[in-house]
Amino acid sequence: MQLQTQRFNDALRHTGMIAILRGVRNAEAEAIGAALYDSGFRIIEVPLNSPDPLVSISALRKSLPADCIVGAGTVLKPAQVQQVKDAGGELIVMPHSDGAVIRAARDAGLYSAPGVATVTEAFAALDNGADVLKMFPAEQLGPQVVKAWRAVISRDIALLPVGGITPEGMAVFRAAGASGFGLGSALYTPGLSAEEVRQRAVAFVAAWKALG
């Protein structure tokens, strides 16, 4: 478990951000994935409520280098974990903290990032085997909650605010103790070209590096 988590943490440290490609179409997934990778991203998720998400996950996994972790978001049921694994996915991201889904990911040898909104949910998720904690929605929780959680949650557990994160908004969360971020519509929305995604990705990476 520690070795598995270490690989995820190594990928997260490279840039500190997870790219969320909600709505991506499989015909464009490889080009967008390449743009993100070239910009410095090393963790990419395709939410399962995207068109043909398993096909996109498979395409990304086959086309990107091994040091890039590819996975699924909006995973709601334990049965979906095996489907993601069969497609080549390595990461299970959830909007909630259902222990059954976390345990299914652990048993399948996949990383898990459950969504948590209270410290009680956070510790329950860790007890079930979560690798990192997705603080969702970040707009509602705010940096004050990150700071409060960080006082009781070990720094070797990554806290990742997700929801409404922009390049300009990262510093206050980072100062409060956030380990990284999940990036949605500020990075990718359906209809953007690979070059447009690259430009947004470069702006996020520059903002991350400026945090020191």
Residues annotated as part of the active site: 45, 134
* 29: Cβ contacts below 8 Å, ≥ 6 apart: 21, 46, 55, 56, 59, 60
Q: Which helix (H) or strand (E) holds 121?
A: helix 119-127
- Tell me if the bond preceding 65 is cis, omega within 30° of 0: no
The separation between CA 7 and the C-alpha centre of its own chain, rounded to angstroms, equals: 14
Q: Which helix (H) or strand (E) holds 47?
A: strand 43-47
Cα separation, 212 vs 191, whole angstroms = 33
